[in-house]
C-alpha cells in the first residue's frame, strides 16, 4: 500500500459506526484506511486481566495443537460448558438446547451461513466490542428504524437468549486468536487475503485509489481466504486485501479438527483499500 497518497484518507462513515465500544480504539480510528495502513493491537476490555494466568501458561507451550487443546479446556472450565448447571442453569425450565450455543457453535454456524442466527450474534458482538455496525444480514441494513435492521436485531436477540456468557466467550476466542497470530507470524502486521464476488456492487464502494484500486466499506464481519484459487470458486471478481492481523477474529486452522473449511479467515470490517481483479 502507498503511504504517500495526498488525497483524503476516509474513515468509516458515521452511519456505519457507533461512538462507543469495548476496546482501546474507537471505531472512527480502527475502521479507517489509516488503521489499515498502520495497525496497532486491538485490546478488548478486561480480557487480559481476567485470563492472565491462562495466557502465561500458553507462553510455556511450544506446539500450536497443544495450545489449542489447552484453550478449549480453559474455555470449558471457565464457562462451565460441560456442566451448565454450575453456571446457573436450572433444568426443567426449558431452553436446555441454548446452553449448547457456545463459541464453537457460533463459528461453525458462521461457516455454514454467515446470514443465519449465529452470524447475527457475531455481527452484534463486533458492534459491541469494536463499534462497527453491520451493513448486511440477508439484505442491506439501514438505520434502527429500518425493517431489515429490526429483523436482524430480533434474530440476534434470539441467538443470545438463554446462552452462557456467550459474548465473553467470543472475547476470549478473539484474544486467543490474536495471541496465536502473534506467535505464528512474529513481526508481521498484515496478511494478504482474498474474497470472491460476482458483482462489485455487492460491497459499498466509497471511491477509487490513484493506482486503480477501490476503497470499500466492508460489512462489520467478513469471510476471506488465503488461497486465491479458493476465492475463484465464489465469484468472477477477486478482491485482494491486506488485512491487519489485529482485525482477524478467527481462522479455521486456529482449532484443528473443530472448524469447517480450508484457509478461511474471518475479519472485522471497516474501510479498506482493495485491489480488484478477474480470473
Last residue of a domain, one of 149, 184, 219: 184
The pTM score is 0.92
**pLDDT tens digits along 35-86:** 999 999 999 999 999 999 999 999 999 999 999 999 999 999 999 998 766 6
Q: Please state, in angstroms and rounded to a whole number, the distance separating the CA atoms of residues 95 and 214.
A: 46
Which parts of 29-144 are beta strand (E)? 136-137, 139-140
Helix (H, G, I), strand (E, B) or coil at 147: helix
- Is the same domain home to 81 and 103? yes
- For residues 130-157, give the mean pLDDT: 93
pLDDT band at 2 (very low <50, low <70, confident <90, very high): very low
Least confident of 47-61, 70-84, 155-169, 258-272: 258-272
Q: Do 151 and 238 fall within a single domain? A: no
Using the predicted structure, report yes or no on whether residue 262 has a pLDDT greater than 80: no
Per-residue cell: 233 = 470458486
- Residues 80, 169, single domain; the answer is yes
Do 253 and 230 fall within a single domain? yes
Cell matching residue 231: 476465492
177 and 201 together in one domain? no
The predicted model gives 236-265 an average pLDDT of 90
pLDDT of 18 higher than 50:
yes
Question: For residues 210 and 5, what is the distance between their CA atoms, to the nearest angstrom?
Answer: 8
Q: Which residue has the cell 463499534?
A: 131
Greatest C-alpha distance within the chain: 64
pLDDT tens by residue, 170-229: 999 999 999 999 999 999 999 999 999 988 878 899 998 888 789 999 999 999 999 998
End position of a domain, from candidates 184, 201, 230? 184
For residues 4 and 7, what is the distance between their CA atoms, to the nearest angstrom?
Answer: 9
Task: Tell me, yes or no, whether 196 lies in a domain.
Answer: yes
DSSP string covering 6-23, please? -S------GGGB-S--SB
Number of domains forming the structure of the chain? 2
For 235, the domain range is 188-278
> Looking at the structure, do residues 155 and 254 belong to the same domain, yes or no?
no
Amino acid at each position: 500500500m502507498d503511504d504517500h497518497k495526498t488525497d483524503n484518507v476516509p474513515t468509516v462513515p458515521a452511519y456505519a459506526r457507533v461512538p462507543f465500544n469495548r476496546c482501546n480504539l474507537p471505531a472512527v480510528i480502527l475502521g479507517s484506511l489509516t488503521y489499515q495502513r498502520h495497525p496497532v493491537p486491538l485490546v478488548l476490555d478486561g480480557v487480559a486481566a481476567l485470563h492472565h494466568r491462562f495466557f502465561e501458561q500458553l507462553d510455556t507451550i511450544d506446539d500450536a495443537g497443544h495450545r489449542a487443546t489447552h484453550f478449549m479446556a480453559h474455555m470449558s472450565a471457565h464457562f462451565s460448558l460441560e456442566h451448565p448447571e454450575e453456571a446457573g442453569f436450572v433444568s426443567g425450565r426449558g431452553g436446555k438446547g441454548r446452553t449448547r450455543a457456545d463459541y464453537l457453535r457460533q463459528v461453525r454456524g458462521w461457516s455454514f451461513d454467515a446470514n443465519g442466527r449465529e452470524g447475527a450474534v457475531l455481527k452484534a458482538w463486533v458492534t459491541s466490542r469494536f463499534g462497527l455496525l453491520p451493513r448486511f444480514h440477508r439484505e442491506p441494513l439501514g438505520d434502527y428504524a429500518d425493517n431489515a435492521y429490526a429483523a436482524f436485531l430480533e434474530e440476534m436477540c434470539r441467538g443470545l437468549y438463554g446462552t452462557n456468557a456467550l459474548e465473553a466467550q467470543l472475547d476470549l476466542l478473539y484474544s486467543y486468536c490474536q495471541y496465536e497470530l502473534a506467535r505464528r507470524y512474529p513481526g508481521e502486521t498484515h496478511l494478504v487475503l482474498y474474497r470472491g464476488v460476482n458483482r462489485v456492487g455487492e460491497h459499498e464502494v466509497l471511491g477509487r485509489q490513484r493506482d486503480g484500486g477501490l476503497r470499500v466499506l466492508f460489512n462489520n464481519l467478513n469471510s476471506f481466504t488465503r488461497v486465491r484459487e479458493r476465492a475463484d470458486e465464489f465469484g468472477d471478481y477477486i478482491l485482494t486485501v491486506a488485512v491487519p492481523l489485529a482485525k482477524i477474529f478467527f481462522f479455521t486452522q486456529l482449532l484443528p479438527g473443530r472448524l469447517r473449511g480450508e484457509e478461511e479467515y474471518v475479519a472485522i470490517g471497516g474501510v479498506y483499500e482493495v485491489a480488484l481483479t478477474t480470473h
